[in-house]
Amino acid sequence: MLRRVTAMWCGVLAASLPLPAQAADAPLERVRGVRVALERHRGAGGAAEADVRLWPAFAVAVERDETPSPFLSPGLFRATLTAEVELALRDRRRFRLEGRGRAELSVNGHKVLDGALRPGRPLETAAAVRLDKGPNRLQLVFDSAAVGDGEVRLSWAGDEFGFEPIAPESLTVPVDAALQAGESRRHGHALFAARQCARCHDPEPQRLGESAFAELDAAGPDLRAIGARVRQDWLAAWLRDPRRFRADASMPRFRFERDGDADDVAAWLAGSGSPPTAPEFTDDQAAAGGSRFRELGCVACHEEPDRQSMPGALAARLPLGFVAAKWQPAALVAYLQAPQRDHPHARMPDFRLSREDALALAAHLLRAASSAEPLPVSRGDARRGRSLVQRSGCIDCHAVDTPLGAPRAPQLANLDPARGCLAEGGHARAPDHGLEPVERAALRAFLPFAGAAPWRRSPSDFAARQLEAQRCTACHALDGTPSLWARWATATAAAEPLPPQQDPVAQGIPSLTWVGAKLQPSWLEGFVRGRLPSPRPWLTARMPAFDLHGAGIASGLVRRHGHGAGDEPPVPADAQLALHGERLLAMGRGFGCVQCHAVGEQPAVQVFERAGIELLTARQRLRHEYYTRWLRDPTRLDAESRMPRYADAKGRTSLTEVLRGDAAAQFEAIWQHLGSRTTQGR
């Protein structure tokens, strides 16, 4: 559920969440992130466009035919990024700018870098810049190329670390009126997509299928055989009040004319299809399902149906106490194996579960939820229900076995924000979406842009909405905030011991913080879409497949860290360096990487605690810059990493007989060797 931010901004999720409102005479509240002011001037006589947003990093990336914000048309733009970073002691830092375009960096009001950016030719400060104890203000002004494309990335380096992006959790900004307004518009955009407003309010002259990332294509489940999947009593209760079962339901509560209308509709829907024969679940399956529910990370998104709700952020997990009242048993098994079969836009992702796992999970859920309070028995008139479906506009969102439908609601351009769904206190004939005041305000703020924004390609905004909609932070940490699963594990372990396979930190589930700066775009897209195997086969957790929106999510994660669409260009391997790299991987005379890591078909020699990622796969996945930063100091990027640090603060290693102990040269030699092996294997 989209929720109001009341304290610190967490990761990119604030791209779809409103910031706290500010009283006129109150001091400005500070939130985590970078303030990005965007300007688009459309030439002589053209109207200027502007937007302000919150972002996690000093980075911008836009390709041709894209825009840095859906509230700006594509083309030449300027981005002004500002934030404060607080230091415990006075220090000195070197700064670097990389990308394409033109950029200017100021630190505490003093310009330290200014010039054109070209690929492979970064701007760097000639000497370290003095930073004060306490807050230091950074401002980066970036101008795109004339056609509106370009990218910029800011990094810094200190005596104890090389060039790296500034950690998102270290950056803060005050909330001003412009930032509040920009984030309210983004909240409205997210609600507009999540509540499927365009299904009823026709966005002509555009068509739904032409919207960027096909986001407005989202529809409800296919109802033509829903009677084979769910029970009639649940259908009636759901129609009366969807939010009784799911607080963030996109399905509104319809204002039926009489009490029995919901029963009539449920009777007609329940007559479509016959329930398949129910499996005979065993006690062993139910017990195994309880373990798998935790091991697979189901607890990250869902409450355990046989346990009490947990407080705080964990209370936002989705309840499952209604499962037994809703599902026909065989249909639940089929749904767990293929959630998108009858509902391509279902928010439950595809974990590609085996039949065995699906049976075990279904057995556990149906037994654990069987003690829930029974729903009222529903009996209705199916013929009258069919007529109600025809008149209620159900076909706007659902495929149904009736060719007729009610006239559509007002077109998008004709909406009156004071009436209908957005009316204060609701409207007698409009569906009830259960909108809170802040949500109604956000949708009203978005409506002036609703005819254009959904058709503009802004991958960064789209990915931010999808990270929230797909609940990615349920399993993954982001920008210094642990995942919901990790918080569940901490709370549960305080009362009962947890085996390692139920703890995401012990498993080694990676953080999303640097993913766009870490992985090659093509590999990231293939993995998010479920087309590549996991590089961590030891995980009990499953990375689900997001094939429908995976390409847009991946491109947005890449733009989030200031990178364009393409992979890094391949560089021919240096044969001499590659020979040194082969030695450095070995046991005894090198770093001993092969102890924990396989190299192609060669298995790891002697794994300690947990196997590492196969190294040829790592060479194909990783960006060169991230690989170098990782080897320089793994725990600086991941505090939970088991990877040792081989380089000291001066950039030297203990293997002085190879490349004179120069850590950077040695790490490059390993990269070159893995690259030569990867090329040979093609």
Does residue 95 lie within any of the structural domains?
Answer: yes
| HSE, side-chain direction, 13 A CA sphere, residue 646 | 23
Is residue 529 domain-shared with residue 591, that is, in the same domain?
Answer: no
Q: Which of 425, 449, 453, 448 is nearest to 437 (CA)?
A: 425
Q: How many domains does the chain have?
A: 4
| Alpha carbon distance 179, 35 (integer Å) | 7
Could you tell me the residue range of the domain that residue 540 belongs to? 459-560
| Alpha carbon distance 143, 68 (integer Å) | 12
Is residue 39 domain-shared with residue 102, that is, in the same domain?
Answer: yes
Model confidence pLDDT, tens digit, residues 104-139: 999 999 999 999 999 989 999 999 999 999 999 999
User: 477 to each of 8, 154, 218, how far by Cα in Å?
Assistant: 15, 23, 28
Tokens of 447: 């409506």
Is residue 41 domain-shared with residue 131, that is, in the same domain?
Answer: yes
Tokens of 523: 């590999």
| Alpha carbon distance 164, 640 (integer Å) | 19
Is residue 547 domain-shared with residue 591, that is, in the same domain?
Answer: no
Is residue 486 domain-shared with residue 524, that is, in the same domain?
Answer: yes
- What is the pTM (predicted TM-score) of this model? 0.92
Domain boundary residue, one of 560, 593, 627: 560
> Whole-number mean pLDDT of the chain?
90
Is residue 166 domain-shared with residue 37, that is, in the same domain?
Answer: yes
The set of long-range contacts for 413-416, using a CB threshold of 8 Å and a minimum separation of 24, is 413/204, 413/451, 415/201, 415/447
| Alpha carbon distance 407, 386 (integer Å) | 16
Does residue 652 lie within any of the structural domains?
Answer: yes
What are the start-end ranges of the H helices in 241-379?
261-270, 283-295, 323-326, 329-337, 355-368
Does residue 631 lie within any of the structural domains?
Answer: yes
Q: What CATH number does the domain containing 95 carry?
A: 2.60.120.1560
Domain boundary residue, one of 368, 398, 415: 368
Domain boundary residue, one of 529, 560, 591: 560
**In terms of residues, how long is the chain?**
682
Does residue 101 lie within any of the structural domains?
Answer: yes
Q: What CATH number does the domain containing 330 carry?
A: 1.10.760
Model confidence pLDDT, tens digit, residues 341-400: 999 999 999 999 999 999 999 999 999 988 788 999 999 999 999 999 988 888 889 998
Which residues have a Cβ under 8 Å from the Cβ of 639 and sit 6 or more positions away?
A: none
Does residue 403 lie within any of the structural domains?
Answer: no
| Alpha carbon distance 224, 6 (integer Å) | 43
Model confidence pLDDT, tens digit, residues 198-224: 888 877 655 555 789 988 888 999 999
User: 446 to each of 6, 123, 423, how far by Cα in Å?
Assistant: 21, 38, 15
Is residue 80 domain-shared with residue 171, that is, in the same domain?
Answer: yes
Model confidence pLDDT, tens digit, residues 604-630: 998 877 788 999 999 999 999 999 999
3-state helix, strand and coil shares in percent for the chain, rounded to the nearest 5:
40, 15, 45
Does residue 451 lie within any of the structural domains?
Answer: no
Q: Which of 231, 249, 192, 243 is nearest to 215 (CA)?
A: 192
Which residues have a Cβ under 8 Å from the Cβ of 578 and sit 6 or more positions away?
A: 669, 672, 673, 675, 676
Q: To which residue do tokens 């859906």 refer?
A: 70
Is residue 236 domain-shared with residue 303, that is, in the same domain?
Answer: yes
Is residue 553 domain-shared with residue 600, that is, in the same domain?
Answer: no
Answer yes or no: is pLDDT of 16 > 50.
no
Is residue 122 domain-shared with residue 56, that is, in the same domain?
Answer: yes
Does residue 21 lie within any of the structural domains?
Answer: no
Which residues have a Cβ under 8 Å from the Cβ of 184 and sit 6 or more positions away?
A: 18, 19, 441, 442, 445
Does residue 569 lie within any of the structural domains?
Answer: no
Is residue 166 domain-shared with residue 236, that is, in the same domain?
Answer: no
Q: What CATH number does the domain containing 586 carry?
A: 1.10.760.10
Q: Quick check: 245 and 322 in contact, CB under 8 A?
A: yes
Is residue 71 domain-shared with residue 127, that is, in the same domain?
Answer: yes
Model confidence pLDDT, tens digit, residues 216-253: 888 999 999 999 999 999 999 999 999 999 998 999 99
